[in-house]
Amino acid sequence: MTPQAHRTGNAPPTGRRRGTALEQAIFEAVVQQLEAVGYAGLTMEGVAAAAHTGKAALYRRWPGKAELVVDTLDRLLPSPEDLPDRGNVRDELIELLRQKAAVLNSRVGRAVQSLLAETERDLPFVRLVQERVFEPRLNVFRVILERGGRRGEIRPEPISPLVADLGPAMLVQRFLGDSSPIPDDFLVAIVDQLILPLIKR
């Protein structure tokens, strides 16, 4: 049933790695295994083999696979960044979607696709993945709208909260339907053809 564990393709290390160096190799192996066999197919043995280490080194640090994956994701997923004021709403929205697309386009982003399947299983990484990868950043969107309002760029009337969901929803759907990276002009088109017409003065 379980496919053969995939090797990283890297040669085994010369000499022993200790502490954080070993942990980095393990995290890298987790990502590689998530990509190759998904969360369900990921095994401690497979991660250990891909990291060229022993299971005991894994179990010394993590009680099981879910905790290992949580720690890996927490370490490797980018934290949300503040968005600099770029002087106009369009550029800020494009930047916001670029940040999201960059996460989705990353190896880690692609690796977490398999975690979508686990959403109902009360595993500790579910919330983390939703927040860091898939959910819209409503607070940043709100800041962009406030700045745009101050600059007189957007309509004075209230804007539907659904507009904040729109861009990320389109990116996620693209992500799920097509495994090639999300092109930049796609997200620019989302801003220009969908979001701006809904909010611009």
Q: Which position among 1, 15, 20, 156 is part of the footprint of a copy of itself (CB under 8 A)?
A: 1
Of 25 and 103, which CB lies nearer to a copy of itself in the complex structure? 103
Residue 169, contacted partner among a copy of itself, DNA, none, CB below 5-8 A by kind: a copy of itself
103 binds a copy of itself (CB under 8 A): no
Type of residue found at 173: Q
Distance between CA 38 and CA 32 in Å, rounded? 9
Applying the rule CB under 7 A, the residues between 9 and 68 that interact with DNA are 12-13, 15-19, 22, 43-46, 52-57, 59-60, 64-65
Query: Would the CA dihedral through 122, 22, 8, 74 be positive or negative?
Result: positive
Distance between CA 62 and CA 66 in Å, rounded? 9
Tell me the number of residues near a copy of itself by CB under 8 A: 36
Distances (CA, A) of 112 to 88, 92, 116, 155, 201: 33, 27, 7, 37, 38
Q: Which position among 23, 67, 135, 153 is part of the footprint of a copy of itself (CB under 8 A)?
A: 135
Which token pair is 22? Answer: 């070993």
Which token pair is 108? Answer: 């880690």
DSSP 103-122: HHHSHHHHHGGGGGGGTTS-
196 binds a copy of itself (CB under 8 A): no
Smallest distance from a copy of itself to CB 60, Å: 20
Contact (CB, 8 A) for 114 and 175: no
39 binds a copy of itself (CB under 8 A): yes
Residue 148, contacted partner among DNA, a copy of itself, none, CB below 5-8 A by kind: none
Distance between CA 201 and CA 198 in Å, rounded? 9
DSSP 15-41: S---HHHHHHHHHHHHHHHHHHHHHHH
Residue 116, contacted partner among a copy of itself, DNA, none, CB below 5-8 A by kind: a copy of itself
Q: Which position among 27, 62, 125, 134 is part of the footprint of a copy of itself (CB under 8 A)?
A: 134
3 binds DNA (CB under 7 A): yes
8 binds DNA (CB under 7 A): no
Of 21 and 117, which CB lies nearer to a copy of itself in the complex structure? 117
